[in-house]
Amino acid sequence: MFSFKRVLKFWGRLLALLIPFYAIWVLLVWIALQSGEQPTRGWQPGLKFAAALLLATLAIVATLALSTNFMQKLYALKSRREVFWYLVHRLFGQANFRPYILVEESKISSRVNDPDSLLVKVGGPGNMVIRKDSAVVLERGGRLTRVESPGFPKLQPFERIYDIIDLRPGRWQFPVGGMSKEGIPVLCETDIMMQIQDGGEPPSGKKPFPMDPNAVFVASTSKWIREASRPEGDRVLDWKGLIVISATEGTLRSILARYPLDRLIGPKEPGQEHPRQVIRQELEEALHAAAARVGAKILKVELGQIRVADEVTQQWIESWQAAWQRWATEYLATGEAGYIDKVETAYAEITAKRIRDIANVLHDLNKSEGYEAFVAGAKLQLQLAMRNTGADSLVMTYMPREAIRLLQMTANLPPPPGEGEADDK
C-alpha cells in the first residue's frame, strides 16, 4: 500500500537526524584542525574532513550492527535483516505499509506472517489488517492497551497482539458423560451454538459480525490455566472452553444425576414432557448465565439421545425399546380399528331406526284422507334412503330383516282408500 506522504515523512525524519549529526561532527573536526600547532595546507584539510565523515558513518553502522545483534539474541529472532529494518522503522518511521500483520479466521495468517517474526514477537511499529470475522486485543509492556475491531489499525512501538477473538457463531457437538440416579454411566450428545455479544447492534454489510468491545475484552481475559501435566495446547482454557467444558459438562452431569435410568431412556409418559426436554431447558438457562460472565451469548442448545455408556447394555435397551414400540403400535392400531367399527355400527343403527320410524308413520296415515302429497314426498325420501342405505353394505348388514321388508313395502304404498274405485268408475 503505497503512500507518497508516508515516504516523504520517512525521508524527512531520516535527514532530520543525519544532517545535524554530520554537521556537528564536521564542526568538531574543523575546530580540532584550527586548534593545531601547524596550520594545514593543500589537500590535507579535505582529506581530514573525508576521514571524519567516514568515521561518523562507521560509528552509525557499528551502532546499528551492535543493536541488531543485541535484539536478535534477546528475542531469539532468525533474520538480522528484519531486525535492521525494525530499527530503521523505529527511528524514522515506515516508508510504506509494510511490515504488517494479517489477522483472519481468528488467527495470524501464515500466508503473510511468520509466527516467529519480529512484528509478532516484539511488536510495533507496524500495521495490522483485521478481517471482518476477528477482533484483536493489544498489549504493551505487559499491560493491555486497547481492543481493535476489523480494519487497518496501527501498532505503536513495542505494541503486540495479546489475543484474537473469533466474532463468528461457533458450534460445538460433543458427548457428555455422566451417571443416572442409580449410578449407571450414561452418555448424552450436546449441540451448543454461541457467539460474542454484539451490544445490540444488528449485522450489516460492513459489519456482518458486530461486537461489543467490552465483551471482547472480558472474553479475552476469561482464561483458566490448567494442570502443568497437560499438553501445551490444552493447558489454557479460553472463554469457549469455559462454556463448553466447565459450564456444559458440569451442569449436565448434575442434572442427569437427579433422574433414574428408566426416565432418561424410556418413552414420554402421557400428559408429561420428556425428561430430555426438561433437561435441555434447565441446561440452556444455566448456559445463558455462564456465557454472560465471559462476554458471550448462547444461540442454541440441543440434546441428542441419552444412552448407556456400556455397549452391551445399550444394545439390550434398544432391543427392548423396539419390542415395546412394536407392541404400542399394534395396540394403537387395534384401538383405532375398534373405534371405527363402533362409529359405523352406531351410524347404521341410527339410520335404520330413522327409516323404521318414517315407515310406521306412513302406515298409520295410510287410511287417512288428503295425504297424497305427503305420501309422494315420503316415497321419494324413502327411495333415496333405500338407495343410500343399499350403497352402504355395513348398514344393510346390521339392519333387521323386518326393517328391510318394511322399506320395500313402504316404497310401493297403495293409493288411499277409494281412489282406485273412483278411477274405475
* DSSP state, residue 134: E
Check whether the bond before 99 is cis (ω within 30° of 0): yes
The Cα-based distances of 345 to 75, 119, 338, 370 in angstroms read 95, 89, 11, 38
Running along the chain, 425 residues long, what does each successive block of 10 average in pLDDT? 59 67 66 55 62 71 76 75 77 76 89 79 88 94 92 91 93 88 86 92 90 94 84 83 88 90 74 82 92 94 82 58 66 70 73 70 57 58 58 51 57 47 45
* Residue 351 near residue 390, CB atoms below 8 Å: no
How many residues does this entry show for the chain? 425
Instruction: Give the pairing type, strands 126-130 and 100-104.
Output: parallel
The pLDDT, as a whole number, for residue 315 is 59
CB 300, CB 291: distance < 8 Å = no
Q: Which helix (H) or strand (E) holds 130?
A: strand 126-130
Place of cell 318414517: 358
How far is CA 267 from each of CA 60, 273, 276, 325, rounded to the nearest angstrom? 83, 10, 10, 9
How far CA 50 is from CA of 59, 61, 327, in Å, comes to 14, 16, 108
Sheet holding 126-130, edge to edge: 107-108, 100-104, 126-130, 154-155
Long-range CB pairs of 270-279, under 8 A, 24+ apart, other chains included: 276/303, 276/305, 276/306, 279/252, 279/255, 279/303
Q: How far apart are CA 87 and CA 67, in angstroms?
A: 8
Whole-angstrom distance, CA of residue 355 vs CA of residue 404: 9
- Helices 44-75 and 4-34 pack at an angle, to 10 degrees, of 130
pTM higher than 0.75, yes or no? no
Retrieve residue 198's grid coordinates.
Answer: 454484539
